Amino acid sequence: MAARNRIGSKTPPRAALWPALLIAASLAAPAQAAGAFRVCADPNSLPFSNQRGEGFENKLAELFARDLGERVTYTWWAERRGFIRHTLKAGDCDVLMEVPVGLGGVETTRPYYRSGYVFVSRRDRGLDIAAMTDPRLRRLKIGVQLIGNDGFNTPPAHALADLGIRDNVVGYTVYGDYRRPNPPAAVIDAVASGAVDIAAVWGPLAGYFAHRSTVPLVVTPIADAARFAPLVFEFDMAIGVRKGDDGRRSEIDALIARHKEEIAALLRDYNIPVFPAAAKDDKPSPGDR
């Protein structure tokens, strides 16, 4: 898939991505395996990645590796607390295929897409809610994502609490039951089943699973997020490499520019909500996965 130092307020919950604790020291960059595009990835986190290579991160890695004349290799690790420490910083892999621009502890490339939080509801409900301040939210059961075992809140959850909307909010951890496929999708399942009336969800997760739901669902970007500043609801997403790996970062910057159209098509294929570029960067505070 929260404030960077307290991950609920300024971070997209990419399958519990980027937990809150800042790790001050980074490991020295080891020698890279010749001919390998070494990716750190979650084996069970569609639409991003899985061990069968079905996620858009998998496809993007394959695209870049072909261009470089390399082969993709993976270090698989569940994206929970310590993910970066146990993969990228341990030297077992060299590339994170999707991180927010400015993520602490890594170098980030130029962004290749921007997304944010959305509402998801059943089409047959006809809710058409696009604002956190919509008065109907006070009487609907609302699903929100929670990050980590500590239950840190995501930006929509914080915004609802700021509005005094608490008793009708149901939290779904992005960690979930890892024995099941794609555990963070539970919040989308709750909307489809009617367990909640509407949910505020990280856009890529919402777009992918809503499109594949057997119950028709509607995905609507949250329109009034600016009023809840400094909470951030939208993020520029980039590739992450180790601190000091400037050569790899520059190489991937060039790949992103060279394959702009293919990347856009890939995101469309996965029904990823892509938001317009921001007028200025919304960078998260330093943190670590």
Give me the mean pLDDT over the 151-155 stretch: 77
- Cβ neighbour number for residue 128 with a 10 Å cutoff: 11
Which of 60-64, 218-222, 226-230, 276-280 has the weakest average pLDDT?
A: 276-280
pLDDT band at 178 (very low <50, low <70, confident <90, very high): confident
For residue 35, give the nearest of 91, 79, 94 by alpha carbon: 94
- Strand bridging mode 95-100 / 36-41: parallel
Give me the domains of the chain, ranges plus CATH numbers.
Answer: 116-228 (3.40.190.10)
- For the chain, the farthest-separated pair of C-alpha atoms sits apart, in whole angstroms, at 58
CB atoms within 10 A of CB 152: 22
pLDDT of 47 above 60 = yes
Share of the chain above pLDDT 90, in %: 74
C-alpha distances (whole Å) from 132 to each of 14, 164, 185 are: 21, 12, 22
Model confidence over 4-26: pLDDT tens digits? 223 333 456 553 343 332 222 22
pTM above 0.75, yes or no: yes
Pairing of strands 169-173, 142-147: parallel
Q: Which two tokens stand for residue 220?
A: 């609507």
For residues 56-79, average pLDDT: 97
